[in-house]
């Protein structure tokens, strides 16, 4: 059996759930933006004879998606550094 305090484990689980939830919306926007960007590049390359303006637009959308990922990572890191988990309450 474990001799850890159940209340401590519950607080730690709640803290981890909060940290995991930080930036979830931004990460999902990033996934969608990257998917849309890749679809734009594929359509531009294979259906529209490689139109350069559309190819670069797709690349820009992918870059915006990565920007969302970086922002979500930064927000989570900033929160964890500002609010570390304290075992004693």
Tens digit of each residue's pLDDT (9 = 90 or more) over 25-42: 999 999 999 999 999 999
- Whole-model pTM? 0.81
Give CA separation, 27 vs 9, 58, 77, 83, in Å: 27, 18, 14, 21
Structure tokens at 40: 């734009």
Asked if residue 6 belongs to a domain, the reply is: no
- Region of 47 (left: φ > 0; alpha: ψ -120 to 50; beta: rest) is alpha
Asked if residue 28 belongs to a domain, the reply is: yes
pLDDT at residue 35, rounded to an integer: 98
Asked if residue 4 belongs to a domain, the reply is: no
Asked if residue 67 belongs to a domain, the reply is: yes
Query: Residue 37 belongs to what domain range?
Result: 21-82
Asked if residue 31 belongs to a domain, the reply is: yes
Domain count, the chain: 1
pLDDT at residue 1, rounded to an integer: 43
pLDDT tens-digit map of 42-87: 999 888 887 889 999 999 999 999 999 999 999 999 999 999 887 6
């Amino acid at each position: 059996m474990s001799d850890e305090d159940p209340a401590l484990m519950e607080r730690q689980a709640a803290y981890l759930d909060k940290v995991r939830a930080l930036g979830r919306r931004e990460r999902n926007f990033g996934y969608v933006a990257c998917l849309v960007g890749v679809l734009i590049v594929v359509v531009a390359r294979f259906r529209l004879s490689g139109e350069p303006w559309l190819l670069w637009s797709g690349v820009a959308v992918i870059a915006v998606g990565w920007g969302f990922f970086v922002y979500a990572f930064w927000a989570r890191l900033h929160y964890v550094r500002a609010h570390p988990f304290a075992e004693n309450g």
